[in-house]
Amino acid sequence: MSWLPEVASNLASKVDGVLWFITIISLIFFIIISTFLIYFAIKYRRRGDDEETPYITGNLTLELIWTVIPSILLMVIFVYGFVVFKDMRTPPKEATEINVVAKQWLWQFEYYNGKKTLNELYVQQNRPVKMVMRSDDVLHSFFVPAFRVKQDLMGGRYTQLWFTPTKVGTFQLFCAEYCGTGHSKMLGKVIVLSPEAYDRWEKGEEEEEGVASLSPAERGEQIYANSGCNACHSLDGSKLVGPTFKGLIGGESELEDGEIITADENYVRESILEPQGKTVKGYPPVMPSFKGILSDNDISALIAYMKTLN
């Protein structure tokens, strides 16, 4: 039905089935009970001051009916829900594993061949995937409405979920557990590719094609938007969790220890790779290291982009 999110995984229609089943049963009982309620309220209303309420001790037949029927219905709801739940918790043996790390405030995906992506999860249509997930800091929650999957991520413990994407396209990934200031910007995309396109992506062809046509600053802008920088660094001078990028390069910054430095390319590079080294005064030292996540080329592109913001 149109008021539910798109159905884009093998699990989605099963979850919807349970939801509709329970909703329709509830609706039927709501209508039956409300109708009787209104009818009885009118029919048995008090007509005069001297009218006394009759004393009724019980009705075995009625009581059996309204105990047995709901009990059976509840058991049916339980069994139906449990069968679907078990299905959702049992990944098929052939599922491809993808490692997921959540941190304030980004998603990191690592594939079986060593490939890594940030905030963009690439999967193949009709191939089951199993997410092995952990958090680097606080609780987060991996939630893709179109797939009907949601699972918390914790530090010091792996959690998992699986699904088979059935539709080619791009689907919204949310963090569904409040995890601090950048929570609402902890967004990602699940990109479902056809088997041919996935093959090309795995070999890295797609990436190079797309990148060749962009200037470093344009690529930097993409990295800013897709790698989680935007969760903490504004472009318009406003103060978020971290300092704004506007006018940062070439400008002066006061560090935590009072030292005044001019933020040049090397300072920015160092701050991306070892963010706890020289934090700017007045900002909490919470930035994760992007070592092994952003390449030297990515950092150069980001710096080129930052220079356009002065």
Residue 174 exposed, middle or buried by CB count within 10 Å (0-12, 13-18, 19+) = middle
Binding ligand CUA by CB under 6 A: which of 8, 149, 179, 293? Answer: 179
134 binds ligand CUA (CB under 6 A): no
Is the CB of residue 102 less than 8 Å from the CB of residue 142?
A: yes
Q: Sketch the per residue contact string, 15 through 54, with ligand CUA: x for CB under 6 A, - otherwise.
A: ----------------------------------------
Contact segment (CB under 6 A) with ligand CUA among 9-17, 41-49, 71-79, 173-181 equals 173-181
Nearer to ligand CUA, 95 or 154 (CB): 154
Q: What DSSP line would sit under 50-76, residue for residue? A: TPPPP-----HHHHHHHHHHHHHHHHH
187 binds ligand CUA (CB under 6 A): no
175 binds ligand CUA (CB under 6 A): yes
Binding ligand CUA by CB under 6 A: which of 134, 140, 148, 233? Answer: 140
Q: How many CA atoms lie within 13 A of 102 on its CB side?
A: 35
Q: CB count, 10 Å around CB of 195?
A: 11
**Residue 131 beta carbon to ligand CUA: minimum distance, rounded to whole angstroms:** 15
Q: Where are the beta strands (DSSP E) in the chain?
A: 96-103, 106-110, 116-118, 120-124, 129-135, 140-144, 149-153, 159-163, 169-175, 188-193, 252-254, 260-262
Phi, psi for 116 (deg, rounded to 5): -130, 145
229 binds ligand CUA (CB under 6 A): no
Contact segment (CB under 6 A) with ligand CUA among 170-178, 240-248, 267-275, 294-302 equals 170-178
Phi, psi for 297 (deg, rounded to 5): -65, -40
178 binds ligand CUA (CB under 6 A): yes
131 binds ligand CUA (CB under 6 A): no
Nearer to ligand CUA, 185 or 278 (CB): 185
183 binds ligand CUA (CB under 6 A): yes
Question: Which candidate, 207, 176, 188, 208, places its Cα nearest to that of 120?
Answer: 188
Q: To which residue do tokens 């049963």 refer?
A: 25
Euclidean distance between CA atoms 280 and 260, whole angstroms: 9
Euclidean distance between CA atoms 5 and 165, whole angstroms: 14
Contact segment (CB under 6 A) with ligand CUA among 158-166, 172-180, 253-261, 279-287 equals 172-180
Number of residues that bind ligand CUA (CB under 6 A): 9
**Residue 273 beta carbon to ligand CUA: minimum distance, rounded to whole angstroms:** 23
Question: Which candidate, 143, 146, 128, places its Cα nearest to that of 6?
Answer: 146
Contact segment (CB under 6 A) with ligand CUA among 37-45, 85-93, 177-185, 189-197 equals 177-185
**Residue 297 beta carbon to ligand CUA: minimum distance, rounded to whole angstroms:** 28
155 binds ligand CUA (CB under 6 A): no
The strand pairing partners of 260, in sequence order, are 254
Q: CB count, 10 Å around CB of 140?
A: 31
* Beta-sheet pairing, 96-103 with 106-110: antiparallel
Six-digit token pair at 297?
A: 């080329």
177 binds ligand CUA (CB under 6 A): yes
**Residue 185 beta carbon to ligand CUA: minimum distance, rounded to whole angstroms:** 9
Residues contributing to the site for ligand CUA (CB under 6 A):
102, 105, 140, 175, 177-179, 183, 186
